[in-house]
Amino acid sequence: MAYKPKVDFEPYHTWIDKSYAPDLKNDVIVTFRVTPAEGFSIEEVAGGIA
């Protein structure tokens, strides 16, 4: 059975600009490793981290 949150969440995945290219001299670049919980897409999880 998929997880159903009790409240609606903001659509964080809509904040992600997949065409963005970081400025290697001025942007802070980090790496996260995540596994989405059942019922969540990788885009939703990545948006929440971002």
Identify the weakest region by mean pLDDT among 11-15, 21-25, 39-43: 11-15
Q: Is 47's pLDDT higher than 90?
A: no
Long-range contacts of 36-44 (CB under 8 A, 24+ apart): 37/3, 38/2, 38/3, 39/2, 39/3, 39/4, 40/3, 41/13, 43/13, 43/16, 44/11, 44/12, 44/13
> Tell me, what's the pLDDT at 10?
66
Please write the tens of the pLDDT for every residue from 15-37: 778 899 999 999 999 998 999 99
> Tell me, what's the pLDDT at 24?
94
> Tell me, what's the pLDDT at 48?
80
Domain boundaries along the sequence of the chain? 1-50
What is the value of pTM for the model shown?
0.51
